Each structure stands twice: as structure tokens, then as C-alpha cells.
Amino acid sequence: MQSTVSFTPRSSASAHFKGTIAFRRRCNRAERVQDRGAGVSGTNEQDPAGQDPQTGSRSPHTQSAPDLVSNNGGGSEGSGRQEDDGRGDAGGEQGGEPFFTKDDIATFAIALGISFLIRSCIAEPRFIPSLSMYPTYDIGDRLVAEKVTYAVRRNPTAGDIIIFHPERSIFGEAAREDVSPVLRAIFDNPPVKAFKAFFGFDDDVFIKRIVAVAGDTVEVKSGQLFVNGQPRCEKYINEAPRYTMQPQKVPPEHVFVMGDNRNNSFDSHLWGPLPVKNVIARAVFTYWPFNRFGTLPDYTNGATQCPAAPPLVG
């Protein structure tokens, strides 16, 4: 059996080919019109091959109608999509997040609150600006003063080194009693004092050593300190005092304070006893310089009392 091959005359084939091309062109124009209508309505349809109906290029993304418009007003729709996508990604990277986030602010607030609580209720650092406590402390030394002992354990005792606010009257300023009750309440409010100390606004803070407490009688004569008529052997002073002080009795709720550098100290022998309410904290630890690093010697509990004289041999 022979196979046969059908044959179409050349003229008929040419007419058929031209008709096919015209049909495809009409179909393409119809598809373009349909795609434009879909773009205006908010959809971005693609042909089954995944190509852009107008450019014939394959679109990398499927986007909404506004993204199809290029910012420069020109170029094909596909290029407009790619430029928008590039700018969008760069904006996400360069714009970034704000410098401070809510978590950063919360962390900072918590840290500030903890620091404020420690400084106002537990301990605070201080530095020495003068020579009034030399040789125990020199200019520039740094120490830690704790507040727990006087709050929960005991009252200030002779031998303690304390930091305190002096009475305003010693500077020639009006006493707190002369100020209105409202202002006095503000000045004496512990949170206000703690706030000033935290931000370094309390520059009127002194450091001295307690030598006598309420009920004691203090006197300086012959280059020596006497408390209740008994001499005090003070190993920590720089030199013997070159002044005399008449006997003074320390009133209730007061302490008598003096600097270890007795001849170069603005202390109670000049302006009188200190109210206990003015005491801020007790110095306990030196952390600078390193050759002084460590706790302070304890001179409480009668450690400054002079030893009794040996009995006379008859």
C-alpha cells in the first residue's frame, strides 16, 4: 500500500497563511484591550505563558495596578515594576527603624530607676575635694558611703566618718526655720535630696569624723581632744590641734564632728554640733586610688580611748 501526501496549491497556501496572521493580530489586540481594562480595575492579569501582554517580556512579580507606573513617566511596564521593587527594598533597608525603640526607652528607664534606688537608699560614691580629712583621705580620693546601717541597725557613733549637709546658717544664709513651711518641706523631702544627689546638684556636702554624740561634753586643750573629761588617743589625725575649745555639751539628736586634719578643717569646733537629720551616709570603702583600696579601719566602740596609765611603783 502506498502512502499518499496531500498537496495544497501555492496560491491557496499563501492566502491561508495571511488569514492566519490577521486572525492572530486581532486576537492579540483583543487581549491587550482586555489586559488594560483589568489593570484599571485593580488587577494585574498575565497571559498563560507568564508574559506581559504589551512588552512580551516575562514579568518577575505580580503587583497591583499603581506599581505598574514608573516614577520617571517612561519605560515599559515591566521596567516600572522592577524599579519600584528596587526602591521599595532599599527604603526598607536604608529607612530602617528609629534610633530609639520602645524597648530601648523601657530598658533605659529601668536602669535609671534601679540606679536612683541604689543611690538614694543603699549607697553612693563620693570624691574628696579638700584636705580636711588628711591623712585618712587626700584630695581626689574616691569612696563609697552606705546608708543601710543608720536606717536599720544603729545610730551614728563616735569614730564613724560621715558625709552630711551642713546647716545653711554656717554660710551666712537664712536658716531653714526662717523659710516658709512649704519650701522647708520641699528642701527636707528625702526624694528631693536624693534627686539632687543623683544628678550632682548637692555640692554642699561635707565629710568629717564623729568625735562625740548626744549627751557628751567635748573640749580641746593642751593639743588634745577630751570627751567627758577623758583624753582621746587619735591615731588618725594629721597633727595635734593648735587651738583650744571650751567645753560644749552635745544636745539631743546632734553629733559633734571634726576633720582628721584638725588645724585645717571647717568643723564643729567652729560652728557647733551637727543635727543627726543632716547625716547622709557612712563612709566604709575606698576604691581610688588603688593603694588605698579597701575598707576603712573601725574606730568605734572606744577604740580612741587612751590606755590607762600604769600604776605607780612605790
N residues, the chain: 314
The phi-psi region of residue 66 (left if phi > 0; otherwise alpha if psi is between -120 and 50; otherwise beta) is alpha
* pLDDT (mean) for 220-225: 95
Q: According to the model, what pLDDT value does residue 188 have? A: 61
Most confident of 36-45, 194-203, 208-217: 208-217
* Phi, psi angles (nearest 5°) of residue 88: -65, -45
CA atoms within 13 A on the CB side of 207: 27
Query: Exposure string (b/e) for 46-55, b if CB count within 10 Å is 16 or more?
Result: eeeeeebbee
* Phi, psi angles (nearest 5°) of residue 153: -110, -55
CA dist., res. 288 & res. 135, Å (int): 14
Indicate the angle between helix axes 102-121 and 190-198, nearest 10 degrees.
Answer: 110
32 band by pLDDT with thresholds 50, 70 and 90: low
CB contact set of 3 (below 8 Å; sequence gap of 6+): none
Q: Are 208 and 265 in contact (CB under 8 A)?
A: yes
246 band by pLDDT with thresholds 50, 70 and 90: very high
To 10 degrees, the CA torsion angle through 50, 52, 56, 60? -60
* pLDDT (mean) for 55-69: 44
Residue type, 157: T
* pLDDT (mean) for 199-226: 89
Q: According to the model, what pLDDT value does residue 312 have? A: 56
Determine which helix (DSSP H) or strand (DSSP E) holds 217, and give its type and residue range: strand 217-221
Active site residues: 132
Output the nine-digit C-alpha cell for 239.
597633727
Domains of the chain: 12-92 (no CATH), 126-166+204-295 (2.10.109.10)
129 band by pLDDT with thresholds 50, 70 and 90: very high
**30-34, 67-71, 79-83, 155-159: which range is least confident on average?**
67-71
* pLDDT (mean) for 94-118: 83
Q: According to the model, what pLDDT value does residue 162 have? A: 98
Q: Are 162 and 206 in contact (CB under 8 A)?
A: no
**146-160, 167-181, 243-257, 274-288: which range is least confident on average?**
167-181
Q: According to the model, what pLDDT value does residue 198 have? A: 60
- Residue 55 above 60 pLDDT? no
CB contact set of 69 (below 8 Å; sequence gap of 6+): 80
* pLDDT (mean) for 100-110: 90
